[in-house]
């Protein structure tokens, strides 16, 4: 895990910006905004997002907590995010159109770190977990690093998200696109071919646990961006803790979301304690 001094620090307080553009790609909603007051984030960092209007403000509306959303791309003061609507909060964010207000806090958490010289990067993403990997691929290609991208989706509709990542090998659970099976099967094949790599992964917890086990068994380093539920985003609520190898717990939002695979306890998914 990186220390607090290594991370890009968020300015104090929530900022309100305006949506600059939107796009629908398969089931994923992409939206961009200008954030002139914020620093350039690292791949793997996230923002806590909320709509400026209709976010639990009316008498007949439930109050929503901000949603933790990874950065898809960052260029100067322009930020892009992508999400899938899976509940009332993400559904409201997915409704945002150009000119609508967006409240954001970030960038938060620790991002990915660069691999050793001459080691190639293997990006392994599941579903919407591809988002921070798309930004990471851009950074690594710009630095002249060798990159292999592996993406897994449930079906052809969700596989439309593969266009965010250049040259990715695709797996689908139902076999409708690419490899029929799990993206971690593609990962094992890739490591059999050449294990001199660092794995960067983001996706559902069960997928990340498989990547963790592969990393530990093979001795190949892996950095995992955990998709944990977050209430605050800055370590105050302790709602996103995960267990590490010494038996203690760390906060995903503050000590992660990127955590080295060999630092996670084998039973980290149980979230006990």
Question: What's the chain's length in residues?
Answer: 273
pLDDT digits over 96-129, tens only?
Answer: 999 999 999 999 999 999 998 888 999 999 999 9
Q: DSSP letters of 107-121?
A: EESB---PPPTTPEE
State the chain's mean pLDDT as an integer.
91
Report the share of the chain in percent with pLDDT over 90. Answer: 77
The answer to whether residue 218 scores a pLDDT higher than 50 is: yes
The CATH 2.40.30.10 domain(s) of the chain lie at 4-108
Confidence band, pLDDT 50/70/90 cuts, at residue 272: very low
What are the pLDDT digits (tens) for 19-51? 999 999 999 999 999 999 999 999 999 999 999
What's this model's pTM, rounded to 2 decimal places? 0.92
- Per CATH, the number for 120-270 is 3.40.50.80
**Contact of 215 with 222, CB cutoff 8 Å:** yes
Q: Is pLDDT of 273 > 50?
A: no
4-108 CATH choice from 3.40.50.1110, 1.10.10.60, 2.40.30.10, 3.90.105.10: 2.40.30.10
In the chain, ranges of CATH 3.40.50.80 domains = 120-270
What is the predicted pLDDT for the residue at 58?
Answer: 59
């Amino acid at each position: 895990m990186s220390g607090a001094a290594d991370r890009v620090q968020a300015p104090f307080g929530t900022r309100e910006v305006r949506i600059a553009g939107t796009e629908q790609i398969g089931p994923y909603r992409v939206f961009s905004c200008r954030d002139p007051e914020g620093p350039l984030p690292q791949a793997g960092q996230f923002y806590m997002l909320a709509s400026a209007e209709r976010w639990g403000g009316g008498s007949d509306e439930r109050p929503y907590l901000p949603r933790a959303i990874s950065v898809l791309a960052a260029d100067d003061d322009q930020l892009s995010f992508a999400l899938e609507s899976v509940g009332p909060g993400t559904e409201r964010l997915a409704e945002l159109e150009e000119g609508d207000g967006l409240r954001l806090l970030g960038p938060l958490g620790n991002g990915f770190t660069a691999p050793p010289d001459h080691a190639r990067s293997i990006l392994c993403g599941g579903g919407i977990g591809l988002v921070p990997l798309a930004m990471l691929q851009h950074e690594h290609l710009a630095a002249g690093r060798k990159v292999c991208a592996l993406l897994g989706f449930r079906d052809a509709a969700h596989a439309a998200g593969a266009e965010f990542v250049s040259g990715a090998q695709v797996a689908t659970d139902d076999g409708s696109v690419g490899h029929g099976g799990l993206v971690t099967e593609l990962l094992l094949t890739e490591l059999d071919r050449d294990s001199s790599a660092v794995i960067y992964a983001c996706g559902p917890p069960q997928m990340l646990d498989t990547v963790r086990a592969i990393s530990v068994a093979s001795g190949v380093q892996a950095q995992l961006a955990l998709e944990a539920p977050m209430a605050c985003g800055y370590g105050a609520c302790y709602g996103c803790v995960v267990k590490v190898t010494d038996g203690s717990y760390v906060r995903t939002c503050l000590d992660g979301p990127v955590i080295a695979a060999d630092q996670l306890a084998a039973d980290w998914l149980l979230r006990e304690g």
